[in-house]
Homo-oligomer: A and B are copies of this chain.
Amino acid sequence: MRIRDVAERCEVSTATVSNVMNNKGRVSPETAERVRASIKEMGFSPSQSARSLKTDRTHLIAVIVPFLEKGKLHDNPFYWNLVSGVEAGARSRKLNVLLTGVDEETETFSFITERQLDGVIVVGTHEGSRTMEEVLARKVPTVFMDSFIQSAHVSRVTIDDEKGGWLGAGHLLDLGHEKVAVVTGKLEGNGVSRERLRGVKRAFMERKVPFPDDLIIERPVNMAHARSLAKELKESGATAVFSFSDVAAMGLLKGFAECGVSVPGEISIVGYDNLFFSDYTHPSLTTVAQDVEEKGQIAVDLLFDQIEGRPSSKTVLDVKLIERESTAER
C-alpha cells in the first residue's frame, strides 16, 4: 500500500497526505482529519526506505559491541544493561537500534554507510583500535562509551573512574588494609582501568601509605580466570583485593571459597559496576556503583545532539561506593 492509495481514497494529492503525516505545509483541519481517518482505516504505514532515500535520515542508530570470543557478543551483563539503556534512550527519541557485534580485528563496518545510519554508539573500545578508526573514518555522528579516548573532538560518555578507584581504595585503606591487590584487567590501551588505577594511587598517596606495585594483576580476567587467580592471591600476602569488575569479583569469591579463604574474614573484596547479582553473591559485594542505564540514555542524548548539529559536550557521570558484606576491618 502506497501513499497514493491513501491519496486517491481521500481525493487529494500525495503531497497533501505527506503533509498531513509530517505536520508540514498547509492543509485544512477537515482535510487533515479525513486523511488521518483513511490512514487509520487502511492501516497504511509509509515506507521508511522511500522516506530515507529522499530525506537522508534513517532514524536508525547502531550500538556496536565488541565480541568476547569468535562470533559471540560480550557476555558481561554489564553490556546488556548498557544496551538496555541505549534502547530506552533511542525509544524516547524515536530512533531504532541496530545491535551489532564486531570482531575488533576482522570485521567489516560497511553497514554504517550502507544503512546510512544516523549515528553509532561504540562501547568497549579504545584509542587506536581498528574499530575506532573504521568508525570515525565513516564520518558519522558517534559516541563512545566505556572506551578510552584522549582526542578532544570525540564525543563520549564516561563515569568518573578516577573517583571510583579512589573510593574503592579509600574504603579498603580506611578499614586498615595496606596490602591491596588490584585486579585491573588488561591495562594496555584500556584507559578506563588506567583512570581507576590513578584514583587508587591517589588514595594511597593521600594517606601516605606506600602502594604495593607488585600486587597489580594486569592480566585480562573473566569469571573463570578470577576463580583460579584466587589461589595465587592467597599466597601473595594481600589482605584485600580491589577488582575492577564485579564479574571478576564473583569469580574471586568462588575461588577463595574453594581454597578455604574466608571473605571478608581473611581477605576483603571490593568490586566495580554493581551488577544485578552483586547483592546476591555470598558474601554480597562491596562495590563501586554506576548507573549503567542512565549512561546509555545519556549516550543517546549526546548522539542526538550531534545528529541535529548541536554542539555536544563530554559527560562524566558520578559514581558511589556501596558497602556490603565483602569488606571488613583488617
Chain A residues with a Cβ under 8 A of chain B:
45-50, 52-53, 58, 63, 71-73, 75, 77, 79-81, 83-84, 87-88, 91-92, 96-101, 110-111, 113-116, 223, 227, 250-251, 253-254, 257, 276-277, 279-282, 284, 293
**Are the CB atoms of A96 and B101 closer together than 8 Å?**
no
**Are the CB atoms of B250 and A277 closer together than 8 Å?**
yes
Q: Which of B81, B98, B116 contacts A99 (CB 8 A)?
A: B98
**Are the CB atoms of B72 and A88 closer together than 8 Å?**
yes
25 contacts between A and B (CB under 8 A): A47-B114, A48-B114, A49-B49, A49-B53, A49-B116, A53-B53, A63-B99, A72-B88, A73-B80, A73-B84, A73-B88, A75-B84, A77-B77, A77-B276, A80-B80, A87-B100, A87-B101, A88-B101, A96-B100, A98-B98, A227-B280, A250-B280, A253-B280, A277-B277, A281-B282
Complex Cα distance A84/B211, Å? 40
**Are the CB atoms of B116 and A48 closer together than 8 Å?**
yes
Q: Which of B49, B73, B257, B276 contacts A52 (CB 8 A)?
A: B49
**Are the CB atoms of A71 and B97 closer together than 8 Å?**
no
**Are the CB atoms of B277 and A223 closer together than 8 Å?**
yes
**Are the CB atoms of B280 and A45 closer together than 8 Å?**
no
Q: Which residues of B contact A113 (CB under 8 A)?
A: 45
**Are the CB atoms of B111 and A87 closer together than 8 Å?**
no
**How many copies of this kind of chain does the complex include?**
2
**Are the CB atoms of B91 and A111 closer together than 8 Å?**
no
> A52 CB to closest chain B CB, in angstroms?
4
**Are the CB atoms of B83 and A71 closer together than 8 Å?**
no
Complex Cα distance A77/B312, Å? 33
Given contacts A88-B72, A110-B45, A280-B250, contact A98 B96 (CB under 8 A): yes
Complex Cα distance A257/B282, Å? 8
Given contacts A81-B75, A88-B71, A280-B227, contact A99 B101 (CB under 8 A): no
Complex Cα distance A53/B250, Å? 50
Closest to A250 in B: B280
> A71 CB to closest chain B CB, in angstroms?
5
Q: Which residues of B contact A63 (CB under 8 A)?
A: 99
> A131 CB to closest chain B CB, in angstroms?
16
Query: Besides the contacts A71-B91, A80-B80, A250-B280, what 19 more A-B pairs have beta carbons closer than 8 Å?
Result: A45-B110, A45-B114, A47-B114, A48-B49, A48-B116, A49-B52, A63-B99, A73-B83, A73-B87, A73-B88, A75-B77, A75-B276, A83-B99, A87-B100, A87-B101, A97-B98, A98-B99, A251-B280, A254-B279
